[in-house]
Structure 1
Amino acid sequence: MMVKVRAVGKEREEMKRMADIFRGRIIDVTEKSYTIELTGDQTKNDAFLEAIDRGSILETVRTGASGIGRGERILRV
């Protein structure tokens, strides 16, 4: 899941802390926002969204399970 959140003033440090707690990565930074990448099951991602202020969420992108083989291996479904 990727979530773009408002991150201005005191919110910046709080959003960074929440991303760290949920083992997310901040993949884009602007003066007013962070884009956070989270991987995990639906329960974990939902818990992150519940833990942050709903008014801070600007955009959310989610997908189902996905994967790709490592190296020369090919993942077949």
Structure 2
Amino acid sequence: MTGTATANSGTATNARSRSTRSLRPSEWGYANFVEAITDPGHEEHDELLEWVGGAFAPDQFDVEDINKRLAAR
């Protein structure tokens, strides 16, 4: 995530870059993201929710649906 440009690049992405700058890449990952985004009490919850676009449901990924959508392109 650090330094990744998105359509919503700006404050949230830059804040993510600054807040994880002192961490080695192996210290921050998807599991940390899911933990923070699913816990409203987590200190980074609001920042990551804004970064991801306002909503994220890690349990609603449907690989078959994604593959069909990609094949239709």
Q: Tell me the TM-score normalised to structure 1 length.
A: 0.28
Q: Choose between structure 1 and 2: higher helix proportion.
A: 2
